[in-house]
Amino acid sequence: MGPETNPSTVTEAIARLRVDRDDLARSLTETYFADHPEFESEHPPQARLRTREDFGYLVDFLVGALAAGNPATFVDMVLWTAHVLENRRIPRPVLVDSLHRIEREITSRYAEPMAAQATRYLAIGVGALNLPAGATPIKAAAMPQLDHASRIYLQAILQGDRQAALSVASEALASGTRIADVYLNMIQTSMYEVGRRWEANQITVADEHLATAITQWVLAQLYDRLDIPNPHRGRVIVTGIEGELHQVGANMVADMLESDGWNVRFLGANVPHQAVLQSIDDHEASVLGISTTMLIHLPNVDRLVADAKQRFGSDLRVIVGGAAFRGDPGLAERIGADAFARDLNGAVETLRNIA
């Protein structure tokens, strides 16, 4: 939390915005179309639905950043949105206008000081968008360094050639590369590049889905080649937080922990809150690993960590990871987790030390 914020008003702002999210998006869309009557005829029939979805996402980003207690995370999301829109020929002032609209809607709906918490973040977002182009701190996602084999892997998953993808990964193993390095340097790096190309509008959502499906299949094949010792370290639950659809990273972490001697249950992504708590009980786990890519799911992580800690006390250690935590190293501690790890190697090392 920033020094001038009052935690209870922030909590109230998060709770109200989450409840009102769909209604806010609906009302913002209606006003937008009323102000731009030409928009309906100039755009495809689903324009109204898309606009509503986009307003919904912006409210989600705001809620996620409020939950993280860090306006910089909102700036990151806003700049990322600007980048995605600009690559699709939607100019930046459209986004600035949308943020102003959300600001006005929030001010008219909610009392001070609750509204002030949210509008402060929105103003910071607008400020970042209004910086002169050269000064804009856009983290223009750079093309990651891909070695020759990884380029072949990337090409194979984008072209839908799963045998080629598996072959290049298998050849790397045969030539002595550790499986953790294949996961990290070949597969993870390629998936990041898939995301970069989608963001830049160079590939379609279908291309991305194909690449992800093949990667998940390759991971399943490589699992067979892992050395799995008898479990001797303890029991772990690895799960994607409720709402989270990204599951490849958590899958890799689960595999690596298993090969390091943990008894692991990997629940997949988007697991309902109560079901995770029940699994910790059933599996008698001493560690809960939570994977979160999208910052918008942070309120769910907050709730899960609090409930798990309350129910299982200090017997349960919580480790978090995923893109939502990578930009803000203090975030894991602020939401009450025991540890954070940046990648699969970090997860293995950290769990050896904390549990």
Q: Which residues bind ligand B12 (CB under 6 A)?
A: 77, 80, 141, 184, 188, 191-192, 194-196, 198-199, 208-209, 212, 243-250, 252-253, 289-291, 293-294, 319-323, 341, 343-344, 347
Which CB sits closer to ligand B12, 213 or 228? 213
Query: What's the min distance (Å) between Cβ of 255 and ligand B12?
Result: 10
Query: What's the min distance (Å) between Cβ of 2 and ligand B12?
Result: 21
In this structure, what token pair is assigned to residue 24? 């806010």
The HSE-up count of residue 205 (CA atoms within 13 Å, CB side) is 0
Query: What's the min distance (Å) between Cβ of 298 and ligand B12?
Result: 11
Q: Which residues of 65-83 are buried (b: 16+ CB within 10 A; e: fewer)?
A: bbbbbbbebbbbbbbebbb
Which CB sits closer to ligand B12, 69 or 240? 240
Which CB sits closer to ligand B12, 28 or 257? 257
Query: What's the min distance (Å) between Cβ of 122 and ligand B12?
Result: 18
Helix (H, G, I), strand (E, B) or coil at 48: helix
Query: What's the min distance (Å) between Cβ of 194 and ligand B12?
Result: 4
Contact criterion met (CB below 8 Å) for 198 and 210: no
Cβ neighbours of residue 219 closer than 8 Å, sequence gap 6 or more: 183, 187, 248, 251, 252, 255
Contact criterion met (CB below 8 Å) for 283 and 291: no
Which CB sits closer to ligand B12, 118 or 248? 248
Query: What's the min distance (Å) between Cβ of 285 and ligand B12?
Result: 13
Which CB sits closer to ligand B12, 22 or 112? 22
Which CB sits closer to ligand B12, 114 or 322? 322
Of the candidates 63, 78, 185, 192, the residue with the CA atom closest to the CA atom of residue 125: 78
Which CB sits closer to ligand B12, 86 or 199? 199
H or E element in which residue 320 lies: strand 317-321
Query: What's the min distance (Å) between Cβ of 124 and ligand B12?
Result: 17
Query: Which strands make up the sheet holding 287-291, listed edge to edge?
Result: 262-266, 234-240, 287-291, 317-321, 339-340
